[in-house]
Amino acid sequence: MNKQIIFILIFLMPYIGYAQSIQPIIHNKTYSGLSVPLKNFGKPERIIKGGENECSGGFFPNQYVYRDITLSDQGQVYSVIMNRNNGLVFYHKKIDVSMGKTKFLQLFKDLVWQSEEHPNVYYAESEEDSTTIITFIFKDERLIKYKISTNDC
C-alpha cells in the first residue's frame, strides 16, 4: 500500500508544484490565473465599452474599472495598481509595493526588456503563453502598476 502511495505522489509531483508564471494578488488574495471571479468585486465605478477587434474579427470585451483594478467583463485582469493590498507573483517570486526598480531588475533581468520610448516601462512574456505580455510601470523607482495584455492577431 505504501509503495502505491509513493508511486502516485511521484507521478503527481510535477502537477502539484506547477503554478502560473503570472499570479495576480488583488485585495490580498492570490489568484492562480489571469481570470478572477467578478462577483468578488461588486459594482464597478465605470464601464468602458468594448469595440470591434479588427485583428481577430471579434470584439474586445467591456472593461470594468474599479478603484485599483481593471477587469474585462469575463474577469480577465487588465491592470492592477500596486498598493499594500495588491501585488503579483511573477515567476514564483512575490512582487509587492515596496519592491524598487533596482531589486526588480536584479531578480528579473533575464525575463524583462525595457521599452524604447519609456525608460520606466518594462515588458515580459508569460511562461505559459508567448502571446500574453505583462507591462511593468515604474515611477520614482517604485512599481506603481502592471498591465496584462494578450495579442490575439
Q: Is residue 84 part of a domain?
A: yes
Look at residue 96 and tell me if it is in a domain: yes
Q: What is the pLDDT at residue 56? A: 63
Mean pLDDT, residues 28-52: 93
SS3 state at 125: strand
User: DSSP H helical segments within the chain, as ranges?
Assistant: 2-16, 101-108
Give residue-wise pLDDT tens across range 2-15.
544 444 444 443 33
Task: Count CB-CB contacts under 10 A for residue 145.
Answer: 17
Structural domains counted in the chain: 1
Look over the chain and give the mean of its residue pLDDT values, rounded to a whole number: 85
User: What's this model's pTM, rounded to 2 decimal places?
Assistant: 0.82
The boundaries of the domain holding residue 120 are: 20-38+47-150
- Does residue 97 belong to any structural domain of this protein? yes
Segment (H or E) for 19: none
Note whether 19 and 34 are within 8 A (CB). no
